Amino acid sequence: MQNSSAFQLFPKIEPYQQGMLSVDSIHTIYWEQSGNPDGTPVVFLHGGPGAGSTPAHRRFFDPSYYRIVVFDQRGSGRSTPLGEIRNNTTPLLVDDLELLRQHLGIEKWVVFGGSWGSTLALAYGETHPERCLGMILRGIFLCRKQEIDWFLYGLKNFFPEAWQNFVATLSETERSDILSAYYQRLINPDPAVHMPAARSWSIYEGSCSTLLPSLETVNYFAQDTVALGLARMEAHYFSHDIFLPENALLDNVYKLHEIPATIVQGRYDAVCPIISANDLHEKWPQAEYRIIDNAGHSVWEPGILSALIETTERFKQILSSPRS
C-alpha cells in the first residue's frame, strides 16, 4: 500500500499528430499522438463514459519512451456529435479502439484507463488480449447494478449535501427512480432542459470525487462540454447495463491473466468503492494491486497520481524484459 507523492506529472507537451477518424455514418472521433513516434505505444482511456480527454492526460507518460495515444470516445470531448447516444455502446467503443489501433499502424499497446476507462479497458482487453502489452487501471468500475445504485443513492451517506442538490429538481416520485428521471431530461433535445440536468449530474459526481473538497474539480465537471458528454453518456450506459451481459467483465477476466497489469485504487473512493477493485483482484490475482490509503476517486489525488506515474515508469522495465 503506497502513499508516496514523489512521482510528478511529466512536463507539458504538444501532439506531433492529431486527427478525426470517422467510425460510422454518425460518429467521428478525435485522436492525437504525442511523445516518441518510435516509442512503446500506450493508449489513454478517459472516464465517464463521456468525460473526454484533456492535455494533462499526456503527462502520465515519459514522452521520450512512450508513443502516447489519447482520444475522445464517441459522444465525448472533441468527438462529434457531442452527446450523441445513437450507435453508442460498449462493443462499438471496443471496435473504435481496434479501428484506431489499425489506423495508426500499431501492433500492440499498453492500455491505461481509470474509472469508466478501466471498464472499457477490461472490455477491450477481454475481446483483444493479443493486442495488449500491459494494462494500468485505476478506480475500478465494473458497472454492476450494485455500483450504479450506489452512485445514485448510496453516495448520500457520505455526501448528503451533494446528493440533495442532485435530486433537488426531482419530485418525490421521481426520486424512487433517479436514473429514469434524469435520462428523460438528458435526452430531451431542448438545451433548456438537458443542460441544467447535465450540469447537476456532473457537478454531483465531481463533488464526490475527491477525498477533500476541491473547487477546481467541481468547476471542471461543471463545464458544458464535460457535463453534457458525461451526464448523457453515463445515464445512457447505466440505463442499458453497459450493453454487456451481466457480470461479463469479471467472468472473462481470465483472458487477461498473462498480461502484465497494475490496479491502483483509492481506499476512500466514494464514486467507485474499493469493493469492485477487490472483486477484480480476486479474479485476477496475477495483477499487482495497490491501495492508496489517503485518496478518493480522482486521478489527480496526489497518491494516485504518483502511483500511476511510478507504474508507467516501472512498465519500461517490465516491457523490455524477456517474458517466459
What contacts 124, CB < 8 A, 6 or more positions away?
45, 93, 94, 97, 111, 132
Rounded CA separation 47/59 (Å)? 16
One-character DSSP codes across 151-200: HHTGGGGT-HHHHHHHHTTS-TTGGGGHHHHHHHHHT-S-HHHHHHHHHH
Q: Which is it for strands 66-71 and 109-114: parallel, antiparallel or unpaired?
A: unpaired
C-alpha grid cell for residue 3? 502513499
Rounded CA separation 11/255 (Å)? 35
Half-sphere exposure of 93 (CA within 13 A, CB side): 33
Residue 80 DSSP symbol: B
Strands across the sheet containing 288-292: 17-22, 28-35, 66-71, 40-45, 109-114, 132-138, 261-266, 288-292
Contact call for residues 135 and 259 (beta carbons, < 8 A): yes
Residues with a known catalytic role? 115, 269, 297
Contact call for residues 78 and 57 (beta carbons, < 8 A): no
Reference 125, options 111, 136, 115, 138; nearest CA is: 111
Rounded CA separation 61/308 (Å)? 9
C-alpha grid cell for residue 69? 495515444
Give the largest CA-CA distance in the chain: 60
Using only the alpha carbons of the chain, give its radius of gyration. 19
